[in-house]
Amino acid sequence: MKVFLAIIFVVALITLAGGYYVVTRYSDAEKGLFSSEFTGDLGTLMKLAGTFMNTSGEEKVFLVLFQNNMELRPGGGFIGSFGIVKVKDGSVTEFASHDVINFDGRIPDTVPAPYPLPETLGVKTLKLRDSNISPDWSVNAEAAEDFYKMGKGEEDFDGIIGITTNVLSSFLSVVGPVEVPGYPGEYDAETGVLDLEYQVEQAFYKQGITRGERKSIMNLLGNLILEKAKALPITGKYELFRVVLDDLHKKDIQIFFKDESLQSVVREAGWSGEVNREWDADYLLAVDSNMNSFKTDYRMRRKMAYMIDLRGEAPKAKLVVTYEHTAKEKDYMTKDYQSFSRVYVPEGSWLESVVGNAKPAVFGSELGKKYFGAIIQIPLGATRTVTWNYVLPKGFGAEGYDLLVEKQPGLNDVPVTVTVTNRNGETTEKSFILNRPTQWSALE
């Protein structure tokens, strides 16, 4: 899928850079199409415009990691390939894509892989394909560049960008279904990712296509989408602009700039994929990492219920994560699901128990947070719950209660219910769909 994602990324890059011209070239009537919802995003694009649109003849170089979130990892998805994009004065001057497995053969076996990669994947040492083991994109970006250099990569990057396969669905939702001449069916927003996976993994056999040519469809499909995107009317370009921004807010596109002034701009916009390390109230981030389960995350559905009781000296918390495995049978991309599940909570918290795990819990601290982790297993067709019971530090929330729920990159549309019991025994409940970091106060 690397060639296709390369084209889609280039379109996304140009779309974002071109957003600057919304405020410089469109008529007043055309500007009116852009709702006030995106005023802040447009301001961010104006601040970043020079990075892509006016580089004074200097090339800007970006490392792009293509993450398949059908095989979920903490940073977004399995890194199957990467690209190097060079941009000068608003144009992509060079793009090269690379198979990460081949590149990893150049990286020495010197960085030990953390638990549970050796136990579940047989991975003894970390390399580029497994470098996104953190839910914080800035950590993953720096690790990816380190591995790139270890593999004798010669480029110096201005930024590192992550993009998931969800972006394919986003583009198809705007340009509409696409038919590829010489291939059956069409590719649409609802099933396009799955259909493409099937075509390059299974269907090509029956069509008389050689294994070496089985991914040619991706280049054809990508170019067709590119042409349809170019031909969109102003309303369509607005919609494409809108879905790319949505992908940024959902962390399906994550940006890390070497320039700290630029990084602070994307951080403030919520496009950096970074964990909030400054938040000092209650905090929750649930992270899954597919461990030897093929592309099964495409078939998994999740929901979360978080309950916090503030009546005691040390507040008690319970997180119930429900996993539904919607597939009934094993196939080329689906099997029983296994994940290394982690829950990030305020530093100083401690785990009382976890129920529903397949292996004993482990503990650690990073990103200014405490985390609990355990291997979980969900059989085909089954629904299982994993319950984390833990205690927050003493006196926590004594001066009021606020909560920040952050989301994992590559995992969208998770229903969340929060129930807070205050010090007087009164209960407040709120439900929402977790697609962006969500702050909530019990006083609201």
Question: pLDDT class for 444, splitting at 50, 70, 90?
Answer: very low
pTM: 0.90
Q: Please indicate whether residue 168 or residue 40 has the higher confidence score (pLDDT).
A: 168
Beta-carbon count within 10 A of 234 CB? 13
Per-residue pLDDT tens digits for 178-216: 999 989 889 999 988 888 888 888 888 888 888 777 777
Per-residue pLDDT tens digits for 245-262: 899 999 999 999 999 999
Per-residue pLDDT tens digits for 295-335: 999 999 999 999 999 998 899 999 999 999 999 999 999 99
Rounded Cα–Cα distance for residues 163 and 64 (Å): 7
Q: Which range has the top average pLDDT, 19-33, 95-109, 219-233, 376-390? A: 376-390
Residue 21: the pLDDT is: 45
Question: pLDDT class for 20, splitting at 50, 70, 90?
Answer: very low
Q: For residue 135, give both structure tokens.
A: 């839910």
Of the candidate CATH numbers 2.60.120, 2.60.40, 2.40.50, 1.10.8, the domain formed by 282-441 belongs to 2.60.40
Question: pLDDT class for 12, splitting at 50, 70, 90?
Answer: low
Domain limits of the chain?
2-269, 282-441
Per-residue pLDDT tens digits for 408-428: 999 999 999 999 999 899 999
Residue 406: the pLDDT is: 98
Average model confidence (pLDDT) across the chain: 88
Residue 307: the pLDDT is: 98
Rounded Cα–Cα distance for residues 31 and 429 (Å): 39
Residue 218: the pLDDT is: 72
Rounded Cα–Cα distance for residues 262 and 203 (Å): 44
- pLDDT above 90 covers a percentage of the chain that reads 62
Residue 6: the pLDDT is: 47
Enclosing H/E stretch for 179: none
What are the backbone dihedrals phi and psi of residue 386, each rounded to the nearest 5 degrees, phi first? -120, 125
Average pLDDT over residues 254-279: 94
Q: Judge whether residue 347 has pLDDT over 70.
A: yes
Per-residue pLDDT tens digits for 146-189: 999 999 999 999 999 999 999 888 889 999 999 999 898 899 99
Residue 2: the pLDDT is: 44
Q: Judge whether residue 91 has pLDDT over 50.
A: yes
Residue 425: the pLDDT is: 92
Q: Judge whether residue 41 has pLDDT over 50.
A: yes
Q: Judge whether residue 69 has pLDDT over 90.
A: yes
Q: Please indicate whether residue 107 or residue 43 has the higher confidence score (pLDDT).
A: 107
Which CA distances in Å does 188 have to 227, 259, 269, 373?
A: 16, 38, 30, 37
